[in-house]
Amino acid sequence: MKAYRKAIVPLFCLLLAVVVACGSDGTYMRQQLAELQDKNLADSLLTNDSLALNLCEYFDNHGTSNEKMLAHYLLGRTYADMGEAPRALDCYYDAISLADTTAADCDYHTLIGVYGQMSVIFHQQNLPQDEIQAIKQYAYYTLLLGDTINHIIYQSQLIAPYYILDEKDTVLQIIEDVNQQLEQRGCTDFPPLNLGTAAYIYTERGDLEKASEMLDKYESIDGMIDENHNIAAGWESYYWIKGFYELKIDNVDSAEYYFRKALPVNDIEVRFNAYKGLLKVYQLRQNIDSIANYSLLYENSLDSLHNRMRTDAISQSAALYGYTRSEKLIEQETQKRREAWYWFFGLLVCGLLAGVFAFWLYKNSQNEKRRLAERIQLLRGYAVNKNLYDSPVANHFRQLLKANPYHQPDAKDWKELTTLIETEIPGFRKALSNETYTPSDIEYDVCMLIKIQIPLSDIARLKHCVPSYITQIRKNVYKNLFSKKGSANELDEYIMQLC
């Protein structure tokens, strides 16, 4: 014991020196974080991942929840600018897990930025379901901040993923709702959104009256169309949409006119639809030569479209490969920094730190085993767990998930579930807490849903997020509860043992 005390004294002095050094670095590191955020807000290209990594490392150990979230968000933005989407997404998930949404000073603006950037990546990676969830979270937090206009505008971002999923009724409803809400608030600065998309859907369905109404609104927007019938730059898809409408009402000549206006546009999808429309025009006219000509052009544009899709797929694969390779490189860099760190302190304490640290690890491991054994022993004394799976409350949650359309549980449902769990297992909440950690509301809800054996995908639906976020929550709970990293399944096993 005396030898142990002698070892602790120099270690304590060393740690005190480290604390003082960290305190002097705090102002500088916060200044670095603020400057990097300023560059991000100015939409500057972020490529210094070493700086962003250092900020994450520092604030993970010395920062507030907001600072940790911001550091990981900026690391994600850096990776995104470097073309490493998978790594950026991983950082965004880390940022979300570090956000304390129960705190009065929670930085919702940064959290909104995280979900916004996630939705961009999901859109680029052609993951519409994940994109929808990210957009809904973005819209939720903008509304929480009282940013009603931005909340409405961002809801229009749901149109693209729902269109990919072929949920055309939902697309039309979103377009109608968004434009109606903007109109009700007198937002004249925002032109009616996605009217072209609505016009094309109605044209496809043969609802020509509604299609005409959408096109009339589209064309009446100030500055959208000039006296020569030229559409404003960036809105050239109007030409082929208008062409298909004219074709549907048997104005073949007018349809040809609009399809031809789309041909010079430097966009593969616009030209593809233009060739498709002209092919239909000449099929109606039974012009054999033109049919042959535009069939070839249509096929070539289709090949170009497919080639671009294949290129995107290759880029995504390359990004995933780059992610794996970069992980190896970053681990090597981390190892180098760790070795330099050990060498520096080795010179200061002449090897004492390594021995004391090893001893501390051993004692901590023994204490952890003892605490876990005591926890399990304590829990065995509680009343035997009832069959929660077959309880009316659990069955009610399953019925909500099976309902069509899906019904969201309300506050009464969550209260009944909490009452059931804590009545049948009085030590449930205590078993998920310790001296330094109490689960947040969403973490506790997830643990209760695990206890009544709700599947992971359904838990994600109940909490309005993607399954990977639920997995991250479970890992975080395990880490905070047992002070070590563990898998999500290890937490599930622990919860299922509670009785």
Residues 6+ away with beta carbon under 8 Å from 34: none
Residue 422 belongs to a domain: yes
Give the count of alpha carbons within 13 A of 277, CB side only.
32
List the one residue out of 386, 446, 444 whose CA is nearest residue 420: 386
**SS3 per-residue string spanning 321-377:** HHHHHHHHHHHHHHHHHHHHHHHHHHHHHCCHHHHHHHHHHHHHHHHHHHHHHHHHH
Q: Which residue is associated with the tokens 């490189």?
A: 329
229 in the same domain as 141 = no
139 in the same domain as 201 = no
pLDDT in tens, 125-183: 888 999 999 999 999 999 888 888 888 888 888 988 998 898 989 999 988 888 888 88
230 in the same domain as 121 = no
* Separation CA 99–CA 109 (nearest Å): 11
247 in the same domain as 141 = no
Note the pLDDT of residue 301: 62
The first and second tokens of residue 348, run together, are 């200061």
How many Å separate Cα 68 from the centre of its chain? 17
Judged by DSSP in three states, 231 sits in strand
Residue 318 belongs to a domain: no
List the one residue out of 377, 389, 367 whose CA is nearest residue 451: 389
140 in the same domain as 255 = no
* Separation CA 168–CA 207 (nearest Å): 13
131 in the same domain as 46 = yes
End-to-end CA distance of the chain: 40
Residues 6+ away with beta carbon under 8 Å from 269: 237, 305
Residue 404 belongs to a domain: yes
492 in the same domain as 402 = yes
Q: Where are the alpha helices (DSSP H) in 82-221?
A: 85-98, 108-124, 128-144, 148-155, 159-164, 168-184, 195-205, 208-219
CA distances from 228 to 199, 232, 242, 261, 363 (A): 22, 11, 15, 11, 82
Residue 223 belongs to a domain: yes
Beta carbons of 74 and 37 less than 8 angstroms apart: yes
Residue 227 belongs to a domain: yes
Note the pLDDT of residue 277: 79
The first and second tokens of residue 163, run together, are 């269109």
Which residue stretches of the chain have pLDDT < 70? 1-24, 188-193, 290, 292, 294-295, 298, 300-343, 345-346, 350-351, 354-356, 358, 360-362, 364-365, 367-385, 387
Residue 213 belongs to a domain: yes
Residue 217 is part of which domain span?
Answer: 194-286
Beta carbons of 65 and 103 less than 8 angstroms apart: yes
* Separation CA 92–CA 108 (nearest Å): 14
> Hey, how many other C-beta atoms are within 10 angstroms of the C-beta on 127?
18
Among 257, 286, 315, the domain boundary falls at 286
The CA-based angle 66-71-75, given to 5 degrees, is 145
Note the pLDDT of residue 369: 65
* Separation CA 70–CA 64 (nearest Å): 10
Judged by DSSP in three states, 439 sits in coil
208 in the same domain as 132 = no
* Separation CA 323–CA 133 (nearest Å): 24
Note the pLDDT of residue 161: 92
The CA-based angle 267-273-275, given to 5 degrees, is 100
Q: Which residue is associated with the tokens 């949920």?
A: 167
CA distances from 64 to 72, 91, 376, 413, 441 (A): 12, 17, 33, 33, 19
CATH assignment of the domain containing 124: 1.25.40.10
Among 243, 271, 286, the domain boundary falls at 286
Beta carbons of 273 and 302 less than 8 angstroms apart: no
Residue 353 belongs to a domain: no
The first and second tokens of residue 56, run together, are 């994450």
pLDDT in tens, 357-377: 767 666 766 766 666 655 555
* Separation CA 327–CA 443 (nearest Å): 29
* Separation CA 460–CA 468 (nearest Å): 9
* Separation CA 109–CA 138 (nearest Å): 10
Beta carbons of 265 and 236 less than 8 angstroms apart: yes
**Overall pTM surpassing 0.85 (yes/no):** no
208 in the same domain as 109 = no
202 in the same domain as 142 = no
Residues 6+ away with beta carbon under 8 Å from 282: 290, 291, 294
* Separation CA 252–CA 324 (nearest Å): 54
List the one residue out of 120, 101, 123, 119 whose CA is nearest residue 111: 101
Q: Which residue is associated with the tokens 């593969």?
A: 268
DSSP secondary-structure letter at 389? G
Residue 45 belongs to a domain: yes
Domain count, the chain: 3
* Separation CA 245–CA 440 (nearest Å): 54
116 in the same domain as 201 = no
Among 286, 315, 335, the domain boundary falls at 286
207 in the same domain as 98 = no
Note the pLDDT of residue 224: 81
List the one residue out of 272, 278, 302 whose CA is nearest residue 292: 278
